[in-house]
Chain A
Amino acid sequence: MENPKDLKYTKDHEWVRVEGTKAVIGVTDTAQSLMGDVVFVELPEPGSEYGAGDAAANIESVKAVSEVFMPVGGKIIEVNMELEDSPDLINKDAFGEGWILVVEMSDPGDLDNLLSVEEYGKLIAEGE
């Protein structure tokens, strides 16, 4: 699957969609394919605050438990409750319905440290 051009990425395979001062965060299609079938997602409490690089959520697949690191810091304002009953949304639609959380960014400067779609594409190709 192609990585959408309008998103920012991390080397740990998270994606970020900026909407004003908010950022929607999920994991990439590459991440879900590496993890295999997702069976459980542990979501953070809305209202809690995380710094960039902090582990905010856990994704449990049949192979292992993986942490979701915050690409940007800030306060969690929404989490994807659909994932509680349908964790497979991450496998089916990682860039869409499989979104994980929305954060109110505390420092938009964090965005400067993220990868563009080209940089992320290159990173995956190197990992192959």
Chain B
Amino acid sequence: MDRKLIFEISRPGRRGATLPAADVPVCEVEKLIPPEYLREEAPNLPEVSEIDAVRHFTGLSALNHGVDTGFYPLGSCTMKYNPKVNEDMARLPGFASIHPYQPAELTQGALELMWLTEQYLAEIAGMAGVTLQPAAGAHGELTGLLIIRAYHKSRGENRTRVIVPDSAHGTNPATAAVGGFEIVQVKSDERGGVDLESLRSAMDENVAALMLTNPNTLGLFDENIVEIADIVHKKGGLLYYDGANANAIMGIARPGDMGFDVVHFNLHKTFSTPHGGGGPGSGPVGVKDFLTRFLPKPVIGQKNGMYFLDHDRPDSIGKMHSFYGNFGVVVKAYTYIRALGGEGLRAVSEHAVLNANYLMARLRETFNLAFDRVCKHEFVLNSKNQKSFGIHTLDIAKRLLDYGYHPPTIYFPLIVEEAMMIEPTETESKEVLDGFVETMLKIAEEIEKDAERVKTAPHNTVVGRLDETLAARQPVLKFKPSE
């Protein structure tokens, strides 16, 4: 298949648009801009006709894999289907056409929606207050850690360390580092949870917080969470809940009840707003009552039956985002929460967990299961059983592309060698899950009969296996036309 860059189909003088005549007096650019700021040569923009541009980009879009085109079991990313009604709501002119500088009297509907979304998320999390400002999960983590730091500082304490388990999302230690904390890693025990001894010896009066995902990245619920919270709280530390895996717990368990003090949600995972290239994301943060005064400002207040933006927050950590966060995403999440209601959200988590356990049960005979427990919304296999055929997890992932599936998350979590982390989500039917299982079993069979076919996959995609090593060692970051 011939897939040229748009620069390569460019022909001098070809145009896809005709500009109307200027309706203002024309002035030479040299008279408007000082010469040192004027470029010396014309930019190398592609010159194509309208049909060239349409075919080029339509062709590229057809190569894309998204949740609207196929199954996407990317572990820890919750690639669920995003109902289209969410898009309709976000495009209502009352939401889409308002300006952030409009006075509160003219944006009461938008403010009410934000206020209600905060209440709903607080209820789901078991928290007292929520900010919608953070732009995504890791930004929420940073917001949470800055709140935790402000809390310790308000008590005259300068705590310098943050504890992170070895199964954590990479963003947790990265956030702690950006927040200026020293990172202490604790081990996992043989059941995949936090090793309590390791936590006890790491926990002291210098630790600001423990960052934890529950269920963790193995898809396993940490059964010792109450004891973990106790160990951390006894030494004055706080508990941060990474909400990346919240799709497993909605309406069933609340981070606040588990002992967490701060939590973030990924609206683009759990609450069905587009994600990845379809973003932007949103990572609201919820806190317990004793931390609400540190939330980013402004917060939404209510006075005389009117909503307003409250900037008078002397203890706030300040702004974390221009204006009020990614508002359009919040509208979509609000729509999702209202469409499902409390019972519906609980059913989401129940089906997500059921689907994951069904896949796990059907695949575990053929692929090695890293931790043999009932899982939550995702589980981790590895390619140990296929190793003797010279096959790595990467090969299985590449072969899945040939069959039209997005591969699972691979080589994560780091504590499982050759990991494949599978998260089907609740929106897939039994037929889709069975189709995926049949394909995985077929690949396992291929490995035994013709490992080379799998090792050299993908064969049916527009490009074959790319040299990732070369790309990392000698990246070419700029297009250069061939002479």
Contact = CB atoms under 8 A, between A and B. Distances in A.
Interface of A: 34, 37, 39-40, 62-64, 87-88
Contacts of A40: 472
A62 B412 CA distance: 12
B417 A62 contact: no
A112 B292 CA distance: 53
B469 interface: yes
B468 interface: yes
Contacts of A39: 469, 472-473
Nearest to A128: B387
B414 interface: yes
A87 B469 CA distance: 11
Given A39-B473, A87-B473, A88-B473, A64 B414 contact: yes
A62 B467 CA distance: 10
10 shortest interchain CB distances as A-B pairs? A39-B472, A37-B469, A63-B411, A62-B468, A39-B473, A62-B469, A64-B414, A64-B411, A62-B472, A39-B469
Given A37-B468, A63-B411, A64-B414, 15 more contacts: A34-B417, A37-B469, A37-B472, A39-B469, A39-B472, A39-B473, A40-B472, A62-B468, A62-B469, A62-B472, A64-B411, A64-B412, A87-B473, A88-B469, A88-B473
B345 to A, nearest CB: 34
A37 B412 CA distance: 17
A105 B473 CA distance: 33
Contacts of A34: 417
B389 to A, nearest CB: 15
A62 B472 CA distance: 8
Contacts of A64: 411-412, 414
A63 B382 CA distance: 14
Nearest to B410: A63
A37 B414 CA distance: 16
Interface string B463-483: 000001100110000000000
A103 B212 CA distance: 36
A123 to B, nearest CB: 14
A58 to B, nearest CB: 13
18 contacts: A34-B417, A37-B468, A37-B469, A37-B472, A39-B469, A39-B472, A39-B473, A40-B472, A62-B468, A62-B469, A62-B472, A63-B411, A64-B411, A64-B412, A64-B414, A87-B473, A88-B469, A88-B473
Contacts of B472: 37, 39-40, 62
Contacts of B417: 34
A37 B466 CA distance: 13
A80 B414 CA distance: 27
A42 to B, nearest CB: 14
A87 B414 CA distance: 21
A81 B412 CA distance: 30
A63 B170 CA distance: 13
A12 B473 CA distance: 25
A88 B472 CA distance: 12
A19 to B, nearest CB: 31
A98 B417 CA distance: 23
A45 B36 CA distance: 42
A73 B239 CA distance: 34
Nearest to B384: A128
A62 B417 CA distance: 14
Contacts of B411: 63-64
Nearest to A66: B414
A63 B469 CA distance: 10
Nearest to A63: B411
Interface string B90-128: 000000000000000000000000000000000000000
A64 B410 CA distance: 11
A92 to B, nearest CB: 12
Contacts of B414: 64
Contacts of A88: 469, 473
Contacts of B473: 39, 87-88
A115 B395 CA distance: 34
A35 to B, nearest CB: 10
A128 B411 CA distance: 17
